[in-house]
Structure 1
Amino acid sequence: MTIRLCQSLMGRALLALALSFSPLMALRSMAAETASTANATALENAVVKVFSTLRPPDPYKPWSKAAPQSVTGSGVVIDGHRILTNAHMVAYASQVQIQANGSGDKLSATVLAISEGMDLALLKVDDESFFDTHKPMPRANVLPDVRDAVMAYGYPLGGNSLSITKGIVSRIEFVRYHYPVSGLRIQIDAAINHGNSGGAVIAGDKMIGLAFATVTNAQNVGYIIPNEEIDLFLRDQDSGAPKGKPALFDVTQTMENPALRSMLKLGKGVEGAIVMTPASKDAQYPLKEFDVITKIGDYPIDNQGMVKLTANSRVRFQYRVQQLAKNGMLPLTVVRNGAPMNVSVPVSASHPMLVPGLEGAYPSYFIFGPMVFSKVTAEFMAGPSANAPMLVGMSFAGNPLVTRRGDAPDAQREELVAVSAPFFPHKLMNGYSNRFFSVVYSVNGIPVRSLAHMVTLLRDLPDEMVTFRFEQRDAELVVVPRKEMLAATESVLSDNGIRSEASPDMLKVWNDKTTANN
């Protein structure tokens, strides 16, 4: 009886205590819920929809732009009254607008900076009062861990309101973005679709990166650019003289195979990556063929060419270049002929190629009678690259567009010059097959170094006839009368509604002699 009474009294006391605390607990719960709602609203306010009208170049009609293309994507408000988005959203944009979540108004914006290699761009809103009510999104300063929960904010196709999808971090890698730029890439399984590009990916209450790609033939595989890469881009732009990301362009190989290790006479304790093709043939270049890079800075490199990123993940050792390079030099430890040594290797953001990208520019071209010539670019190669039979045929014929695409320029060949459009219909071309995609080897026996060099040759030739030779086994000779070609140029331009016979840079080259003679 006494025990039951004590239990009853204790129960009443606990109930009274609980009742006395319930208002306080309720207030705390309400405060936490209010704070959570306010934080969620702030995050949503920082994500905007981006509208762009793009006018990219037409590499096969280099005198004109491609038809306007309207695209939509996402962007994120960051510090400095700026909006961060993807470069592919605003590259070659003739008009950019942004729209806040829940707003019925679109605001004009301007592209402040762009890095096509890193796929990042900065926008400035013309009406800066926009930022009074749309504050910067807080950004995490550390990488997330694999299996961390994330939410992707953006404006995918199929609706106008903000979309939020949930997922986890699947993996973190160091991969190529757009040649020659590589960077960290985070894979998540949250749904990312067209229109999500440029949207924020959140872990907890902070942004960990920017959505930029998805895999069309796989489910729930999306990629984001992490804050570390974004910070490199922002610091580079804020420097006032952007240089891009430094990189190491030496070709290396893993050291997993025991026969390979035996050939190099490497002990069991030696791990690293083998230099197969140094980035430079200069005798003074610090790295040599068969050097084994064992450390980058103080970070050991394993036999798969990887370094530790976190306790549970590894990435390619080239990732550390962007952290360790100082004043264009990178510290490495190598083993050469069995002896370890420290070297300092030059690194750069640029890697000159015979077939470079346009990098936001429009192609250089020159029209000579019914013939159109352009400098070959990566964009020009998009057509053949998507046509396997064409690539096979070009390879069989030894066309340099295929055989020399990975080469670096030199004194003999600064760039490739190709016939960049089908011949315009004209009697001067009668009997010749179309040389579209053929690379010019020489003009009147003089090897062509560049488009500017070829324009100079055509400008200064004293000969009545012009002979074009093309660099492939099955290419015929094209011989045309110089004066008739010059006379035909004007009618070709008029008949086809072309404003100018050359791009501004080539027109300057063409007119130099005329100016001098006057």
Structure 2
Amino acid sequence: RARPVRTRVTPLLPMPDLFSSTSSPEADGTGALPPAKARKVGSPSIVRGADAALLAAAAMKARWSSLVLVEVTSTSPDYIKPWKMHSQRSCKGSGFVIEGGRILTNYHVVQDAIDVRLRKHGVSRRWRGTVLARGPDVDLALLAVHEDEEGRGDSFWNGVTPAVWCSTLPALQSAVHVIGFPTGGTTISVTQGVVSRVDCKNYRVGSSAFANSGGLLVLQIDAAINAGNSGGPAFCSDGSVVGVAFQSLGGAADGIGYLIPTQVCLNFLAAVAGGEYKGISDVPFLARELRNASLRRRHRVPDDVTGVLVTRASSHSALGVRVDDVVLSIDGKKVGDDGSVELRESELVSYEFLLTGKQRGEPTSVLVLRGGERVQLCAPLSQLPRRLPRNHGFDCFPHYVIIGGLVFVRLCCPMLEDKRSKGHHSAIYDLVNYQIARSFPPADGGGEGGEVAEILLLTEILAAPLNYGYTCHAWRVLDTLNGQRPKSLRALHQMYRAVPDGAFLEFVFSHGGDQIVLDATECRQSEPDILQLHAIPSATSDGLQGGGEEPAAPAPAP
């Protein structure tokens, strides 16, 4: 037999007034609440809070006049077919005015720009801009404004207040406001968040991310950063700039954006002020963690000592770090077994920022354990020679040489990043792995006197009667021409010109010793027809036809 459920009814108590000055009501015997004690609008605490909020908002809004919309039209060279250019494209980003009548933005916003237009916040007119300096390794660029070239009389600088840099690295959980012109609208956008993390990160992304100079400091924030925010400022609560928006983490990750911190920006500006920007210093060694007990004993590392083990070192660095050295400290900062150093109290980041975050020529002190003995090293760092050029317009250009329909180019990072290279990525990466990964930094191929031998690549065979039958030799590294190894495209062109008529050209390639043999006379006679058939203006790119010392003529192939 089911038993009835007895429910105990409890009288309802009056709800406390959450907005009164007390959280517990005073009963008057009837159960009724006394009238709520309303806080006066003019009370000192509210006035002080309102004044502080208004002052902060005013300080922030005063800096908005430094914001600039950057509209760019660009076109980039085709590194697969270097005699061509890619289609013209347009994009937009953000920037902001700094001291000296200049505008700072991201390098990737104005990369390959052929026309730059600048619009101030709240003004519809566009002014023409010019790129003064580029820093691809730090993703920064400096712009100038062409003043009143249309004769309209209104100055770009009217009502503009340059942004002010924050003097310190922001603390975790510090409030930040990211301002710019992202997608989703045409007017200014302001997003708010906090500094979530201070870390050391590779600024280079994409297919050539492995070719970076080393990790740089980065601020991670949870404020929204979208396409179009790039190059825009991030302000802290006092209205000063703590960083420049440049990346966001897409995909499943949400609310992860990255800022270039003030220190990196100021180093870039200082380098530009001192002359032509030449890039940050390369980390001159690679190291592995030193946490395994056997590995530590093998290198005679005491139990109370921490550090990292050098596995590769550049012979071109003045610092003098060697393979099997144990790096104990950098500039007096102790290096942990995992490669971390203390940034601030209880905050650890990679040791690389101590090397990449310096201005050129600034000395670096490194304490190493070498054969069980402590050795103090000190020298300024610099960029290291590389066989794999990294940036178009800096250390590489779309040069080529065509000999008998064989198209030769130099292997470089822009080739990996070229959209047309997607169909050839496996072949290119095989070349990178075999030709580059064996040395440090990637293709540290310097010879005597720092001379760097280029990696020459056969990318295509343009069909012609004289090269009939050679259809499967593309994407090979050229080893020798008639027994001699050309050190550059220029040297290859000069060696070809030095071979007499009636002799043969014997090209030998790596990966199995493949070879192609052509008649030198037929190559020269067929050149005009091949170029006309494929709409190619010249057999060599501009700049390779003259200059430099003539190499010794290679012996004709028998």
Query: Per the shorter chain, which TM-score range?
Result: 0.7 to 0.9
Which range is displaced more, 404-413 or 327-336? 404-413
RMSD: 3.3
Structure 2: tracts of 5 or more residues without a match: 1-38, 149-154, 205-211, 552-558
Where does residue 419 of structure 1 map in the other structure?
Answer: 458
Where does residue 232 of structure 1 map in the other structure?
Answer: 267
**Corresponding position: 1:139 with 2:165:** yes
**Corresponding position: 1:252 with 2:287:** yes
Rounded Cα–Cα distance in structure 2 between residues aligned with 1:108 and 1:363: 28
Deviations 1:167-211 (A, max 9, x none): 221111122223125311111111111111101112212211001
Q: Is the 8 A contact 2:72 2:110 kept in 1?
A: yes
After TM superposition, give the deviation of residue 278 of structure 1 in Å.
2.5
Q: In the superposition, relative to structure 1, how do residues 95 and 483 fare at CA in structure 2: closer, same or farther (>3 Å)? A: same
Q: In the superposition, relative to structure 1, how do residues 36 and 171 fare at CA in structure 2: closer, same or farther (>3 Å)? A: closer
Alignment-mate amino acid for residue 429 of structure 1 = N
Determine which of 172, 194, 198 is the counterpart of 2:198: 172
After TM superposition, give the deviation of residue 27 of structure 1 in Å.
9.3
Determine which of 312, 317, 320 is the counterpart of 2:346: 312
Q: Is the 8 A contact 2:60 2:235 kept in 1?
A: no
Alignment-mate amino acid for residue 341 of structure 1 = V
Rounded Cα–Cα distance in structure 1 between residues aligned with 2:223 and 2:50: 30
Q: Is the 8 A contact 1:456 1:510 kept in 2?
A: no
Where does residue 529 of structure 2 map in the other structure?
Answer: 491
Where does residue 91 of structure 1 map in the other structure?
Answer: 111
**Corresponding position: 1:186 with 2:219:** yes
Which range is displaced more, 37-46 or 130-139? 37-46
**Corresponding position: 1:117 with 2:137:** yes
Deviations 1:211-260 (A, max 9, x none): 11112212111111000000000001011243432343111122222222
Determine which of 205, 208, 213 is the counterpart of 2:242: 208
**Corresponding position: 1:297 with 2:312:** no
Report sequence identity in percent: 26
Alignment-mate amino acid for residue 101 of structure 2 = H
If the length of structure 2 is used for normalisation, what is the TM-score? 0.80
The alignment partner of 2:63 has SS state of helix
Q: In the superposition, relative to structure 1, how do residues 94 and 296 fare at CA in structure 2: closer, same or farther (>3 Å)? A: same
The structure with the largest helix share of the pair is: 1
Q: Is the 8 A contact 2:385 2:446 kept in 1?
A: no
After TM superposition, give the deviation of residue 510 of structure 1 in Å.
9.9
Determine which of 504, 510, 520 is the counterpart of 1:471: 510
Where does residue 28 of structure 2 map in the other structure?
Answer: none
Q: Is the 8 A contact 1:246 1:328 kept in 2?
A: no
Matched ranges for 1:428-467 at <5 A: 428-462=466-500, 464-467=503-506
The alignment partner of 1:266 has SS state of coil
Matched ranges for 1:268-347 at <5 A: 268-280=303-315, 286-322=320-356, 327=361, 329-347=363-381
Rounded Cα–Cα distance in structure 2 between residues aligned with 1:395 and 1:27: 68
Where does residue 186 of structure 2 map in the other structure?
Answer: 160
Q: In the superposition, relative to structure 1, how do residues 417 and 47 fare at CA in structure 2: closer, same or farther (>3 Å)? A: same
Q: In the superposition, relative to structure 1, how do residues 394 and 73 fare at CA in structure 2: closer, same or farther (>3 Å)? A: closer
If the length of structure 1 is used for normalisation, what is the TM-score? 0.86
Deviations 1:47-90 (A, max 9, x none): 11111111111101101221111111111111111110001111
Q: Is the 8 A contact 2:133 2:277 kept in 1?
A: no
Where does residue 21 of structure 2 map in the other structure?
Answer: none
Determine which of 123, 128, 134 is the counterpart of 1:108: 128
After TM superposition, give the deviation of residue 377 of structure 1 in Å.
0.8
Where does residue 31 of structure 2 map in the other structure?
Answer: none
Alignment-mate amino acid for residue 196 of structure 2 = S
Which range is displaced more, 226-235 or 270-279? 270-279
Rounded Cα–Cα distance in structure 2 between residues aligned with 1:435 and 1:358: 28
Q: Is the 8 A contact 2:219 2:259 kept in 1?
A: yes
Q: Is the 8 A contact 1:399 1:439 kept in 2?
A: no
After TM superposition, give the deviation of residue 265 of structure 1 in Å.
2.5
The alignment partner of 2:162 has SS state of coil
Rounded Cα–Cα distance in structure 2 between residues aligned with 1:27 and 1:216: 42
The alignment partner of 1:131 has SS state of coil
Q: In the superposition, relative to structure 1, how do residues 510 and 28 fare at CA in structure 2: closer, same or farther (>3 Å)? A: closer
Question: How many pairs are equivalent?
Answer: 491
Q: In the superposition, relative to structure 1, how do residues 94 and 392 fare at CA in structure 2: closer, same or farther (>3 Å)? A: closer
Q: Is the 8 A contact 1:397 1:472 kept in 2?
A: no
Rounded Cα–Cα distance in structure 2 between residues aligned with 1:326 and 1:90: 24
Q: In the superposition, relative to structure 1, how do residues 275 and 236 fare at CA in structure 2: closer, same or farther (>3 Å)? A: same
Alignment-mate amino acid for residue 219 of structure 1 = D
After TM superposition, give the deviation of residue 509 of structure 1 in Å.
4.8
**Corresponding position: 1:79 with 2:99:** yes
Q: Is the 8 A contact 1:90 1:121 kept in 2?
A: yes
Which range is displaced more, 403-412 or 496-505? 403-412
Rounded Cα–Cα distance in structure 1 between residues aligned with 2:428 and 2:132: 43
Where does residue 255 of structure 2 map in the other structure?
Answer: 220
Which range is displaced more, 121-130 or 332-341? 332-341
After TM superposition, give the deviation of residue 295 of structure 1 in Å.
1.7
Structure 1: tracts of 5 or more residues without a match: 1-17, 514-518
Alignment-mate amino acid for residue 517 of structure 2 = V
After TM superposition, give the deviation of residue 337 of structure 1 in Å.
2.8
Which range is displaced more, 217-226 or 483-492? 483-492
Where does residue 481 of structure 1 map in the other structure?
Answer: 519
Q: Is the 8 A contact 1:272 1:293 kept in 2?
A: yes
